[in-house]
């Protein structure tokens, strides 16, 4: 991955000084070597990868993959499938509790060839439980006995303590593991993402190779060139200038769902009330999803001329594996302008236009380039952005791996159910 960081602000030199970057590399190593956070070591976890490969063999005939989960238990696989799916397996993501949507989704599922994959780290999330009840009732209405529907189920959960684990044992349902030290939003490289990826024909070994490559350069001892440390310093520097919104904008439709994965990772990890000493700081970097060129006709006006509080992360795919010529027999000026060009050239010209305009408007941005939208690049992006999130937690002096703020709403929701 190539990275160019452009900032119109005078940077705080200390944040980029060799000694400071070295201290942040030490801090990053402490984070990833802490037994409570395991995401960085997943590319080396052959055994975990193999568990998905083995179980996939048993269900290889499946053509309908129904994934049930919410938040980190769904966003990773969703973005992998939309970016990289290579075969005709039909994927359905039941990732919300909207009855109309679920009804539409189930209507399209061909039960005979279907596998239902229930993913929940904790195992007891209300949305997951509701989805499972609905699916079991629906299958029973269609005439399937418990013995029949349970053969179409696979679970994925914490291997030590989880209701889903217990239920899997009771019903003899194959259960894949999400290691206890991996939180939902950092779990895409576990069976949460790898098992569905296999049904989509994604080369998960290549994905892990890309991830390993990112692991190497995130630990580059040559700190002046280390992209992880410099990007974190850059974003932290901008935060001191009140640039506290992060727009993630790939120039690719296939990477659009990657934005939503990033949004959860960034928001849930960095938005915190308390710092590590327990002081109230109400911090965070607000993520905004976008995608080019479409958002040039939507949000870009705000990004260019609105409040000076955003940094754009632009992601360019250098090589698309297909293209269209834009030559046309229609003799109108708008068509003539495109003659002798291709669709990829138009996409690149639009990205170039955005970059030039951002520079002229004094708006900070980072320009990331991946060679192509493939499994290796995806693995690289995943580890890079997970690492960046974890390290930003250190810069902001907060815990990026918890989410105490989401608990309060859950308490009230259950109270409401009890009252009714
Ligand atoms: O990142 C997280 O930890 C959360 O977004 C969870 O993934 C989400 O709340 C779902 O939890 P669970 O996987 O336990 O059902």
Q: What angle do CA 262, 266, 267 make, to 5 degrees?
A: 115
Q: Are 244 and 284 in contact (CB under 8 A)?
A: yes
Q: Which of 88, 108, 297, 416 is catalytic?
A: 297
268 Cβ below 6 A of ligand 1: yes
Domain annotation for the chain: domains and CATH numbers: 2-33+210-406 (3.40.50.10490), 39-202 (3.40.50.10490)
Q: Which two tokens stand for residue 297?
A: 């006709």
Q: Which residues contact 112 (CB under 8 A, 6 or more apart)?
A: none
Assign residue 32 a region: left if phi > 0, alpha if psi is -120 to 50, beta otherwise?
A: alpha
Torsion sign across C-alpha atoms 243, 370, 90, 179: negative
Paired with 311 in beta bridges are: 246
Q: Please state the atom number of ligand 1 nearest to the C-alpha of residue 127.
A: 15
Distance from Cα 255 to the centre of ligand 1, integer Å: 22
Distance from Cα 200 to the centre of ligand 1, integer Å: 23
128 Cβ below 6 A of ligand 1: yes
pLDDT per residue rounded down to tens, the chain (420 residues): 899 988 888 888 899 999 999 999 999 999 999 999 999 999 999 999 999 999 999 999 999 999 999 999 999 999 999 999 988 899 999 999 999 999 999 999 999 999 999 999 999 999 999 999 999 999 999 999 999 999 999 999 999 999 999 999 999 999 999 999 999 999 999 999 999 999 999 999 999 999 999 999 999 999 999 999 999 999 999 999 999 999 999 999 999 999 999 999 999 999 999 999 999 999 999 999 999 999 999 999 999 999 999 999 999 999 999 999 999 999 999 999 999 999 999 999 999 999 999 999 999 999 999 999 999 999 999 999 999 999 999 999 999 999 999 988 888 998 999 987
Is the pTM higher than 0.75? The answer reads yes
* Distance from the first to the final alpha carbon of the chain: 53
Helix (H, G, I), strand (E, B) or coil at 400: coil
Q: Which of 268, 316, 380, 386 is catalytic?
A: 268
- Please, what's the b/e burial string for 148-160 (b: 16 or more CB within 10 A of its CB; e: otherwise)? ebbebbbbbbbee
Q: Please state the atom number of ligand 1 nearest to the C-alpha of residue 265.
A: 1
CA dihedral (81, 386, 16, 246) in degrees, to 10, reads 60
Q: Are 229 and 28 in contact (CB under 8 A)?
A: yes
């Amino acid at each position: 991955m190539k990275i160019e960081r452009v900032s119109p602000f005078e940077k705080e030199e200390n944040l980029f000084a060799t000694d400071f970057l070295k201290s942040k590399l030490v801090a990053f190593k402490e984070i990833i070597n802490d037994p409570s956070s395991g995401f960085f070591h997943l590319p080396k976890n052959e055994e975990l990868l193999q568990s998905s490969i083995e179980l996939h063999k048993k269900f290889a005939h499946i053509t309908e993959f129904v994934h049930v989960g919410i938040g980190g238990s769904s966003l990773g696989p969703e973005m992998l499938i939309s970016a990289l799916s290579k075969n005709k397996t039909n994927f359905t993501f039941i990732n919300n509790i909207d009855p109309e949507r679920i009804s539409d989704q189930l209507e399209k599922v061909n039960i005979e060839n279907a596998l239902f994959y229930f993913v929940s780290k904790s195992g007891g999330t209300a949305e997951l439980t509701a989805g499972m009840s609905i699916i079991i009732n629906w299958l029973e209405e269609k005439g399937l006995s418990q013995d029949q529907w349970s053969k179409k189920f696979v679970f994925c959960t914490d291997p030590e303590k989880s209701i889903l684990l217990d239920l899997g044992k009771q019903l003899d349902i194959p259960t894949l593991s999400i290691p206890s030290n991996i939180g939902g939003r950092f779990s895409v490289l576990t069976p949460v993402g790898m098992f569905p990826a296999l049904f989509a024909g994604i080369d998960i070994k290549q994905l892990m190779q890309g991830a390993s490559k990112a692991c190497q350069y995130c630990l580059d001892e040559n700190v002046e060139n280390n992209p992880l440390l410099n990007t974190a310093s850059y974003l932290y520097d901008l935060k001191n200038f009140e640039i506290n919104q992060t727009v993630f904008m790939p120039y690719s439709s296939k990477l659009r769902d990657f934005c939503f994965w990033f949004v959860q990772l960034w928001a849930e990890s960095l938005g915190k009330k308390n710092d590590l000493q327990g002081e109230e700081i109400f911090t965070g970097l607000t993520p905004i999803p976008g995608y080019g060129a479409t958002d040039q006709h939507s949000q870009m006006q705000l990004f260019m001329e609105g409040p000076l509080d955003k940094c754009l992360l632009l992601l360019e795919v250098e090589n698309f594996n297909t293209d269209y010529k834009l030559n046309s027999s229609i003799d109108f000026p708008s068509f003539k302008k495109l003659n002798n060009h291709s669709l990829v050239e138009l996409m690149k010209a639009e990205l170039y236009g955005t970059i030039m305009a951002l520079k002229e408007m004094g708006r900070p941005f980072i320009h990331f380039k991946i060679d192509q939208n493939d499994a290796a690049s995806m693995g690289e992006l995943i580890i890079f952005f997970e690492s960046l999130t974890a390290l930003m937690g250190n810069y902001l002096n907060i815990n990026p791996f918890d989410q105490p703020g989401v608990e309060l709403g859950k308490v009230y929701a259950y109270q409401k159910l009890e009252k009714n």
